[in-house]
Structure formats: structure tokens, C-alpha cells
């Protein structure tokens, strides 16, 4: 009887470990939150939540695009600059040309999609190395962002901020709702649609995908356009949060997005990854930043710790696979 009970206990233990292992990133996120909650009195508060919600939307949507591109076996280094370009287009459109906000927003997102189309056309159809193409686009889009804003922060005003300002005291804004909806939608796209399967197939084995009747160029190009489009939306979110268009916005954002995707279990080799995972990756990076700041860690040390966490995530991922 006791023996049986012990067996049961051991079995349950193993099962718990298995579940924890399968959901390692969620567990890690909870552990980080718990850690800061214990150490800092002010961490588990509404202030922290609204800080988090302010930072979250742009990085989240950019990370969705990055995740899709990485799963297809590509990379998009231009997203940070495209965020600035889109914000710049929106700012210039409203302040200099007096366009209505919705039209300016659409133009900003369109600019992002065009940058993605250029990446996709050159990388997928002309078969240029996508790393170099998007590295070039990183410079091009940044330059264009400076050109449209005349290298100055363009003030837009309160109208656009409505998109980012939380409703009541909840901390929830339109921005964050859009970002969350997109996370769910793109996870669905990836898991449950033909196109999602095609992305995974191309990233997993391009030659086999082609023989299976999938056009790898079309798939690669489409995910880059999606990534550009989402970066364009990120630009809108960034401008809404700041109330202005900053041509220096999004510097280094591509690296944060790659880090979030990788923490979330996406393989840089392609063929594996998850949008939900990338979102949890975004949460981990952001919570870590806020938490470390709250307990008085200096900026240089914060960077050391964040970098170490990214490397640790890859080690854990390798060990599990």
C-alpha cells in the first residue's frame, strides 16, 4: 500500500517535471515575476503593469513578424529602422501635410510593407543573401526616416496618443489589445492554416518543400512583407506611445525581436518556432528590464544580465531538443 503510494508519488513527480519542462518559458516567466515580487515591494503594482504595457505593443508586433521570418529560414534585420520610417511617415503626413490620422497611419504601415516587399523581392526572387539585403534595408529605411522627418522629432499631438493611452486605470490600451489579438491570430495562422504549414516546410527543408509543390520564393517573400507590414504597425504604436515621430526610434529593436523569438523557442535555422512563444519571450525580456531597473541595477549591468539570459535560453533549448 505504502509502496504503491510511493510509486504514485514518484510518477506524479515525473509528470509534473514533464509538464514544467514542456512549458519551460511560461515557468521561467512566472519565476522571474515571483523573484522580483519577493525582492522588491513595489514590483507587483499597477505602475509596473502600465510601464510594461507601454513598452510592449511595438516590440510584440515586430517580434511576430520576426518569428515568421525566422521559421521560414530567413532573417529581417531592417525592422527597427522600418519602425522609425513608418513613424516618420505618419508624423510628417499629419504635421507637415495635414493628412487625417487614419490616412497617415495607413501610409506609415504601407511604407513598412513596401520595405518588406523590397526585402522579399531581392532576397527571395533575386536570391540575394537575405542577411545582407535586410542589413542594407536597415540603413536605407533609417536614412529615409531622417529624410521624411528632416532629422527632427516631429510632434504629432494628443490625437494619436489615444491609441496608446490606457483606458481608465486598467493599464489596457487599444495598442496592447491590437498586439494581443495579432499574437493569437498569427499563432493560428502558423499552426492551423495551409500557409503556416508552408512557412514551416520551407524553413525546415527548402528543397523538399519545392518537390512537394510549395513555391519557396513566394513563401519567403510573403513572410518578409508581413514582417515589414507589422514593423510599420510597430511604428504607429511607437508614435502613439510618444505622441511624436522620433527618427531615432527602434534602434536595436531587431536584436530585441530576435532575442524574444529565440527565447520563445524559435530556431535561427528555420523550421521551428511559435508566435505565442515569442510573445512570452517579449514578456521575459521586458519584465527583466523593468524589474532590474526597479531594484536599482544600473544600465550596463542590466545589459549584461539580459544578454546572459538570451544565451541561457538557447542553451536550455538545445538541451531539451
Partner 1 sequence: MTAPNPRIVAKGVCKSFAAPVLRDVGLEIPPGCIHGLVGENGAGKTTLAKIIVGLEGADAGSLLLDGQPYRPTNTADSLGAGVAICAQELSLVDDLSIAENILLHISTSSWARIRRNSTHEKAWTLLDLVGLESANSRSRVGKLSLAEKQLVEIAKTLATDAKLLVLDEPTSALTAPQAERLHGILRDKARDGVTVIYISHRLGDVLNVCDRVSVLRDGKVRLTEDCGALSEKALIREMAGADADFEAPRRSAESPAPLHLSVDGLRTSKLPHAINFNCRRGELLGIAGLAGSGRTELLNAIFGLDKRLAGSVKIHEDGRTTEVRNPRQAIRCGIGLVAEDRSRDGVFRDQTLGFNVTVAGLGRISDRTGRLVRSKEASAVGKLIDALRVRSNGVHQKMRELSGGNQQKSMLARWLHCGSRLLLLDEPTRGVDVAAKLAIHEELVRLRNSGITVIAVSSELEELQSLCDRILVLSKRVLVAEFHRSDWSQQEILAAAFSEYAREDEPTSVAVP
Site for partner 1 (CB under 8 A): which residue of 209, 219, 245, 292? 209
Q: Of 124, 125, 88, 49, whose CA–CA distance to 235 is shortest?
A: 88
Pick the piece of the chain touching partner 1 (CB under 8 A) from 9-17, 104-112, 150-158, 212-220.
Answer: 212-220
Grid look-up 526585402 returns: 119
Residue 214 in contact with partner 1, rule: CB under 8 A = yes
Looking at 197, 251, 309, 314, which residue binds partner 1 (CB under 8 A)?
A: 197
Element (H or E) spanning 288, and its range?
Answer: helix 275-294
Residue 310 in the binding site for partner 1 (CB under 8 A): no
Return d(Cα 46, Cα 28) in angstroms, integer: 21
Judged by beta carbon, residue 57 or residue 264, the one nearer partner 1 is 264
- With beta carbons less than 8 A apart as the criterion, state whether 57 and 165 touch: no
Other Cβ atoms less than 10 A from the Cβ of 101: the count is: 18
Using rule CB under 8 A, residue 194 touches partner 1: yes
Q: Name residues contacting partner 1, limited to 145-184 (CB under 8 A).
A: none
Question: Residue 210, interface with partner 1 (CB under 8 A)?
Answer: yes
Q: Is 212 in the site for partner 1 (CB under 8 A)?
A: yes
Q: How far is the CB of 210 from partner 1 (least distance, A)?
A: 6
> By C-beta, is 6 or 191 nearer to partner 1?
191
Q: Which residue of 84, 200, 257, 310 would you call a contact of partner 1, by CB under 8 A?
A: 200
Q: Which stretch binds partner 1 (CB under 8 A): 15-23, 34-42, 80-88, 207-215?
A: 207-215
Smallest distance from the beta carbon of 191 to partner 1, in angstroms? 8
Neighbouring C-beta atoms of residue 290, cutoff 10 Å: 17
| Residue from 211, 300, 318, 319 in contact with partner 1 (CB under 8 A) | 211
210 versus 309: smaller Cβ distance to partner 1: 210
How far apart are CB 35 and partner 1 at their closest, in Å? 33
In the bound state with partner 1, the residue whose beta carbon lies nearer, of 151 and 193, is: 193
Question: 155 by DSSP, 3-state: which?
Answer: strand
Rounded Cα distance between 118 and 56, Å, is 27
Instruction: Print the binding letters for residues 251-290 with partner 1: x by CB under 8 A, - otherwise.
Output: --------------------xx------------------
CB of 179 to partner 1, least distance (A): 23
Residue in the block written with cell 503510494: 5
Q: Which is nearer to partner 1, 146 or 195 (CB)?
A: 195
Q: Which of 40, 153, 205, 306 binds partner 1 (CB under 8 A)?
A: 205
Cβ contacts of 47-54, under 8 Å, gap ≥ 24: 48/290, 48/294, 49/171, 50/166, 50/171, 51/290, 52/283, 52/286, 52/287, 52/290, 53/166, 53/171, 53/172, 53/173, 53/176, 54/164, 54/241
> Contacts for 201-209 with beta carbons within 8 Å, 24 or more apart?
202/72, 202/73, 202/270, 203/70, 203/71, 203/72, 203/73, 203/74, 203/269, 203/270, 203/271, 203/272, 204/270, 204/271, 204/272, 205/271, 206/73
Q: Using CB under 8 A as the criterion, which residues of the chain lie in contact with partner 1 when the complex forms? A: 192-195, 197-198, 200-201, 204-205, 207-215, 271-272
Amino acid at each position: 500500500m505504502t509502496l504503491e503510494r510511493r510509486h504514485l508519488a514518484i510518477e506524479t513527480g515525473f509528470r509534473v517535471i514533464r509538464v514544467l519542462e514542456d512549458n519551460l518559458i511560461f515557468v521561467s516567466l512566472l519565476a522571474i515575476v515571483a523573484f522580483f515580487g519577493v525582492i522588491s515591494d513595489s514590483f507587483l503594482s499597477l505602475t509596473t503593469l502600465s510601464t510594461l504595457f507601454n513598452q510592449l505593443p511595438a516590440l510584440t508586433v515586430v517580434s511576430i513578424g520576426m518569428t515568421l521570418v525566422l521559421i521560414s529560414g530567413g532573417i529581417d534585420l531592417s525592422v527597427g529602422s522600418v519602425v522609425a520610417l513608418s513613424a516618420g511617415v505618419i508624423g510628417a503626413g499629419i504635421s507637415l501635410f495635414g493628412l487625417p490620422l487614419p490616412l497617415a497611419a495607413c501610409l506609415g504601415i504601407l511604407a513598412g510593407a513596401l520595405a518588406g516587399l523590397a526585402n522579399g523581392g531581392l532576397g527571395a526572387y533575386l536570391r540575394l543573401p537575405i542577411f545582407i539585403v535586410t542589413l542594407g534595408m536597415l540603413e536605407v529605411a533609417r536614412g529615409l526616416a531622417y529624410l521624411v522627418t528632416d532629422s527632427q522629432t516631429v510632434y504629432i499631438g494628443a490625437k494619436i496618443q489615444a491609441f496608446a493611452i490606457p483606458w481608465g486605470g486598467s493599464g489596457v490600451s487599444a495598442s496592447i489589445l491590437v498586439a494581443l489579438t495579432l499574437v493569437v491570430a498569427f499563432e493560428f495562422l502558423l499552426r492551423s492554416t495551409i500557409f503556416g504549414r508552408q512557412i514551416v516546410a520551407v524553413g525546415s527543408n527548402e528543397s523538399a518543400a519545392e518537390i512537394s509543390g510549395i513555391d519557396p520564393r513566394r513563401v519567403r517573400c510573403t513572410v518578409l512583407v508581413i514582417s515589414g507590414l507589422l514593423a510599420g504597425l510597430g511604428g504607429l504604436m511607437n508614435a502613439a506611445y510618444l505622441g511624436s515621430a522620433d527618427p531615432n526610434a527602434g534602434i536595436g529593436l531587431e536584436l530585441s525581436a530576435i532575442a524574444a523569438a529565440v527565447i520563445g523557442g524559435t530556431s535561427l535555422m528555420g523550421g521551428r518556432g511559435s508566435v505565442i512563444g515569442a510573445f512570452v519571450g517579449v514578456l521575459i525580456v521586458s519584465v527583466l528590464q523593468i524589474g532590474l531597473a526597479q531594484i536599482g541595477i544600473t544600465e550596463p549591468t542590466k545589459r549584461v544580465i539580459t544578454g546572459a539570459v538570451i544565451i541561457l535560453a538557447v542553451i536550455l533549448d538545445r538541451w531539451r531538443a
